[in-house]
Amino acid sequence: MNITIVKENEKEIKFELDETHTFCNLLQKTLLEDENVEIAGYDVPHPLFKKAVFYIRVSGKETAREALKKALKKMKSQTEEFMKRFEEAT
């Protein structure tokens, strides 16, 4: 997965990544569960290309980068929990 930071400061981050709606929608949903995240959104400029532009803005209690890291850790934890329960069920 290639990631290019387009813009970053304490309150916001904008980056491009080689992903589709599948990953971006999950990341957006997870970010919006964080009360410090004011805006989390993405755009896929063209449906034939695997590229998305993601934007995050936070209230200031944590940096946008910290909010992103926290959301990614939460996604990883949820995925691991799902895998564990799936293995137990089969």
Q: What is the CATH number of the domain that holds 11?
A: 3.30.1360.10
Q: Domain range spanning residue 10?
A: 3-89
Predicted TM-score (pTM) of this structure:
0.89
Share of the chain above pLDDT 90, in %: 86
Q: Domain total for the chain?
A: 1
What are the tens digits of pLDDT across the range 35-69? 999 999 999 988 888 899 999 999 988 999 999 99
Rounded to the nearest integer, the mean pLDDT of the chain is 95
Exposed / middle / buried, residue 70 (Cβ in 10 Å: 0-12, 13-18, 19+) = middle
